[in-house]
Amino acid sequence: MRFVYILLDDKIQIEVQQNRDRLSPFIRTKKQLDDLENKITIDADKRIFKFLKLFNQTYPPYSIPKEFIFIDLISLLKETNFVFFKKGDKSSLKRLNNFSILGNMISIKQKIEIKPNKIKILIHKIFKTKVAVDYYFDINELQSLIPIDYDLFIPITEEQKLGYIDEKAKNTLFNQFYKITNKTIENSKYLSFGDLNALNENDTFNIQYQSVSNKSKSISFSSNKLFEMNIFNKDDLKDNELDFYYTLLKNYLQNKNFIDYNNEIILIDEKDTIKDIDSKTLLNIFSYDLKSDIRFFINKLSNIESKIDRTQLLTQLKQKNFNATLKYYQEDGVLWLYNLYKNNIDGGLLADEMGLGKTIQVIAFLLLSNVKNILIISPASLIHNWKSEILKFTNIIENEISLSIEKDNSFITILSYETARSKIDLIKESQYDILIMDESQKIKNHQTQIFNAVNLIKRDFTIIMTGTPIENSLNDLWNMLFTINPSLYELYIQKIQPLLNDINTYHKAIELTIKMLYPIMLQRRKDDVLDLPKRETKTIFVELSKNEKEEYQQLVNTFISAIKSGLSGRVQSIALEGLLRLRQYCSIHSIVPNTLLKSHELIDSKLDKILDIVKDTSNKNEKTIIFSQFTSSLDKIEIILNQHKINFIRLDGSTTKKNRDLIVKQFQIKNNNYNIFLISLKTGGVGLNLTTATNAVLVEPWWNPAVEEQAFARIDRIGQEKETKIFRLIYKDSIEEKINNLIKQKQNMFVRMTNLLVHRQSLEMEVAKDIFKMS
C-alpha cells in the first residue's frame, strides 16, 4: 500500500491506496493505523507514517494540521510524486508540480518545547498477578499521547526537529514513578496490582485499560477476587445478573482471567470460574443470546422433575413381568430415561462404556413407557440380538416384533441403518412413539445419507446408544445430539465450534459440552460401577527379521519414488495408498499385492507369534478371539490353523445374519471343540457378547483406540467370570510403532469425555509425512 497526499486549505489529507503508479480508488479500511505499518512500502511514506502517529488518528483518511507542516516534510513529499491539491469542495484533484504554493502553509517558528504533564499507563494484558503495560507522555500542546520509548521528537530528520521535550518535567515524572514502585519505566513492562493501586492515588499518573471495543476505560483494582462478591448464589437470574454471567462466560472462553463489565475490571481465578457456576445457571447463560427454540429446549433441561422413584420403578417392572435383575447403576439409567421421557424432553444419549448393559436398560424403559409403536435402528449384525434380548427379558411375543418395515401391525420394528436409509420414503409416513438408534457412531457425520434419513423419521422421543460417543473428535458427539433436537446445531455453531478452532480452548469445548448438556447424556465406566475380573492388556513388539526389514524398506522406497515422480495433485492419494500397503505388510506380509513384493516366500514373524499364542491358550483350554481389520489376513491365519489342525470358527462381512447368530451361540458353549474365533474388526467389533473367551488378539493396531476398545469389550463385560488377557501385536520399527506412539501422544486431548480422540485423516497424513519424507 502507499499514501496519496492531498493539499487542502488548512491541512494535508492523506489517503491510502494500493501500491500502483496511477491514481486509483482510495481504501476505506476499518484497520487501524498501526495495522498498516508493515504494509507501507514507499520509504518516504514510512517516515511520514511515524509522524502521523503523533496525532492519534484511527482510520483513513489521515491528516496533518497546517500548524505542523515544515520544510523537511515538504522535502519528503517531493520524493513521493503522489501529491495533489484541491481548490474548493467541488473541484477535482490536480497533481502538484510546483511546491512553492506550500510556502504560506509552512510553519518554521521557534521549535516547540513540549512539556509532559503526566504519564499515562495503558494496560493491554491482564495476568494472574500482574498486568502488561505501555507508557505514554500526556502532552497538552499536541492534545496527544507520545510513547515514552519512541523517538517521535525527531519525526523526519535529525537536522530539523519538530520540537523537544522538557527534560526537567520528564525527570520529575520518572522520579515520582520510581519513588512509588521502585522500578524504572524504561525497563518495566509489567506492573503488579499493588503498583497500580499505589499509582492510581497520584495525580501525575493516569491508568486505563484498552478494552476489546478499542475504547479506553478507567479501572480500579481495589478488589481482585471475584468470589468475595458472592455472585454464585443466585437462584433466579434477573436480566442484569444474566448479562453479568454472560460477560463472565465470554471472557472465560477467550482465555481471559478478568471481566470487563459495566466499566469495571474484576479479576477472576480461571480454574474456578465455570466450576463454581451451577449447571442450571450455565444452561441459562448459554441460551442468553440464542433463538427462542433452543432457549425453550434448554429451559426444559433446567427444570426436569423426578417422575418416579427407585421403589416404584422396580414395582412396575415386576408387574410388567420384566425377566431380569438390574444392577444398581442400570436402575439409575432406566430412571434417567423415564424422567426425560415424562418431562417431554426430546431424547437422551446413553453412552455407558461397552459391556455395561445398555440394551437391557433400554428394554426395561420400553416396558415402563407403555408405548405401542417403537422403531429400533441398529447395525445389521445386531438386529437378531435385539430381537432375542427382547424376547428373553419381556413377555412380548415374536409376532409383535418385525424385522421388516412392510409389516405395519407390529409393536416393535427393528431395522438396520442401511435399510432405514433405503426405505426412508416408507418409514417417514409413520409416526413413532420412540426411536432407538444403537451403535450410533453410524450418525456421527451429519453430511451422510444415513444421518439425513433418520432425521426424517417422525418420533416423540429419541434414544441414542453408543459406548464411544467420541471416536474422532467432539464433532461426533454433537452430530449425534443434533438428532435429538436439531436446534442444538445453533448452540454448537455459536458456542462450541469457535473453541474447537484453537488447541488452547479445546478442553473448554469439552468441559462446556458436558456442563450444558449433562441432563441428556449419561455415561458410566466399567471401573466405576462393576467389579469385573482383572484384565491385562499387553502390547507385544515383534521383531522383523533381516529379510523382512529389507522387504519393508523396499516397499517404503517404492512409494517414496512414486510420490517424487507423481503429479502434485496425486501426492496425498499415493501417500495414503502407501500407508495401506505398509499396514497390510505389517498385518500378514503375503496379503500385499504380488506386484509390490520382491519376495513371496518370507517367513512371517507376526504369524508365528499368533500361532504361539493360539497353541498356548488352547493347551490351557482357554478360548481366544483373533481380531483383524483385513479379511485377507484372516484367510492366511485360517490356512495356518488348518495346517496345525486347530479348530476354529469365523465371522466376517460375508457371514449371513442367520449363520452369525448360530456361530456366536456355538462359540459361547463352554468346553466344546471351538476355542478359536476369527473375527473381522469391522463386522464383529461391536455388539457381540463373547464372555466364554478370556483372550483377545489384535493382529494390527488401529488409528483409533476407541475402536480397539470396542473389540476388547466383547470379552471384558458383564458376565465375564475369569481374568482376561489382551494381546496387541505391533511390528517394531515399523508404521505400526509410529501409529502406536502417535496415538499415545494424542490420547490426552479428549480425556475428559472418553479414552480416545484423534482425527484419523490428519493422523494418517502425519505418519505418511514421517515415513515417506514428505514436506
Q: State the CATH number of the domain containing residue 468.
A: 3.40.50.10810
Are residues 432 and 398 part of one domain? yes
Are residues 727 and 673 part of one domain? yes
CA distance 365 to 322: 10
Of 254-263, 424-433, 715-724, least confident by mean pLDDT is 254-263
CA distance 18 to 2: 6
Quote the crossing angle between the two packed helices 631-643 and 605-619, to the nearest 10°: 60
* Structural domain ending residue among the three candidates 50, 71, 105: 105
CB 613 within 8 A of CB 695: yes
Are residues 335 and 255 part of one domain? no
Is the peptide bond preceding residue 469 cis, with omega within 30 degrees of 0? no
Measured CA to CA in angstroms, residue 562 lies from 170, 177, 378, 455 at distances of 69, 67, 42, 44
What is the reported pLDDT for 49?
Answer: 79
What is the reported pLDDT for 155?
Answer: 46
Question: Model-level pTM?
Answer: 0.62
Q: Which of 772, 390, 354 is nearest to 581 (CA)?
A: 772
Are residues 640 and 578 part of one domain? yes
Are residues 453 and 346 part of one domain? yes
Mean pLDDT throughout 234-252? Answer: 70
Mean pLDDT throughout 219-248? Answer: 57
The answer on pLDDT for 722 being more than 60 is: yes
Give the structural domain span for 65: 2-105
CA distance 24 to 18: 7
Are residues 468 and 350 part of one domain? yes
Mean of per-residue pLDDT scores for the chain: 81
* Structural domain ending residue among the three candidates 173, 199, 218: 218
Residue by residue, DSSP assigns 162-226 as: SEEE-HHHHHHHHHHHHHHHS--TTT--EEEHHHHHHHHTSTTEEEEEE-TTS-EEE---S---G
CB 259 within 8 A of CB 247: yes
CB 62 within 8 A of CB 48: no
Are residues 253 and 327 part of one domain? no
Are residues 337 and 414 part of one domain? yes
CA distance 336 to 349: 10
What is the reported pLDDT for 310?
Answer: 92
Provide the CATH number for the domain around residue 672. Answer: 3.40.50.300
Q: Which of 362, 742, 329, 317 is nearest to 526 (CA)?
A: 329
What is the reported pLDDT for 552?
Answer: 92
What is the reported pLDDT for 366?
Answer: 95
Mean pLDDT throughout 39-45? Answer: 80
Percent of the chain clearing pLDDT 70 (strictly above): 81
Mean pLDDT throughout 708-731? Answer: 87
Of 84-93, 129-138, 579-588, least confident by mean pLDDT is 84-93
* Structural domain ending residue among the three candidates 218, 240, 269: 218
Of 155-159, 534-538, 669-673, 707-711, least confident by mean pLDDT is 155-159
Read off the C-alpha cell for 302: 433446567
Read off the C-alpha cell for 5: 497526499
What is the reported pLDDT for 206?
Answer: 82
Exposed / middle / buried, residue 11 (Cβ in 10 Å: 0-12, 13-18, 19+): middle
- CB burial of 399-420 (b: ≥16 within 10 Å; e: otherwise) equals eebbbebeeeebbbbbbbbebb
What are residue 656's phi and psi, to 5 degrees?
-70, 160
What are residue 379's phi and psi, to 5 degrees?
-55, 150
Mean pLDDT throughout 259-273? Answer: 63
Are residues 317 and 275 part of one domain? no
Number of structural domains the chain divides into: 5
The answer on pLDDT for 232 being more than 50 is: no
Q: Which of 493, 465, 467 is nearest to 480 (CA)?
A: 465
Mean pLDDT throughout 121-148? Answer: 76
CB 417 within 8 A of CB 427: no
Are residues 126 and 77 part of one domain? no
CB 711 within 8 A of CB 695: no
pLDDT tens track for 456-467: 999 999 999 998
Are residues 520 and 568 part of one domain? no
CA distance 7 to 13: 6
CA torsion through residues 334, 339, 340, 344, sign: positive
Highest mean pLDDT among 488-492, 571-575, 670-674: 488-492
The answer on pLDDT for 648 being more than 80 is: yes
What is the reported pLDDT for 154?
Answer: 44
Q: Residue 13 — very low, low, confident or very high, per pLDDT cuts 50/70/90?
A: confident
Mean pLDDT throughout 759-769? Answer: 58
Mean pLDDT throughout 708-730? Answer: 87
What is the reported pLDDT for 142?
Answer: 58
The answer on pLDDT for 200 being more than 60 is: yes
Length of the chain equals 775
Are residues 399 and 286 part of one domain? no
Q: Residue 233 — very low, low, confident or very high, per pLDDT cuts 50/70/90?
A: very low
Q: Residue 319 — very low, low, confident or very high, per pLDDT cuts 50/70/90?
A: very high
CB 498 within 8 A of CB 480: no
Mean pLDDT throughout 208-236? Answer: 52
Q: How far is CA 241 from the centre of its chain?
A: 30
CA distance 20 to 77: 17
What are residue 102's phi and psi, to 5 degrees?
-80, -10
The answer on pLDDT for 764 being more than 70 is: no
The answer on pLDDT for 754 being more than 60 is: no
- CB burial of 113-131 (b: ≥16 within 10 Å; e: otherwise) equals ebebebbbbbbeebeeebb
Exposure of 183 in the CB half-sphere (CA atoms within 13 A):
14
Percent of the chain clearing pLDDT 90 (strictly above): 29
> Which residue spans within 444-562 are E strands per DSSP?
458-465, 521-522, 535-542
Exposed / middle / buried, residue 235 (Cβ in 10 Å: 0-12, 13-18, 19+): exposed
What is the reported pLDDT for 726?
Answer: 93
What are residue 310's phi and psi, to 5 degrees?
-65, -40
The answer on pLDDT for 217 being more than 80 is: no
Q: Report the DSSP beta bridge partners of residue 427.
A: none
What is the reported pLDDT for 662?
Answer: 85
Q: Residue 432 — very low, low, confident or very high, per pLDDT cuts 50/70/90?
A: very high
Q: Residue 699 — very low, low, confident or very high, per pLDDT cuts 50/70/90?
A: very high
Mean pLDDT throughout 206-210? Answer: 77
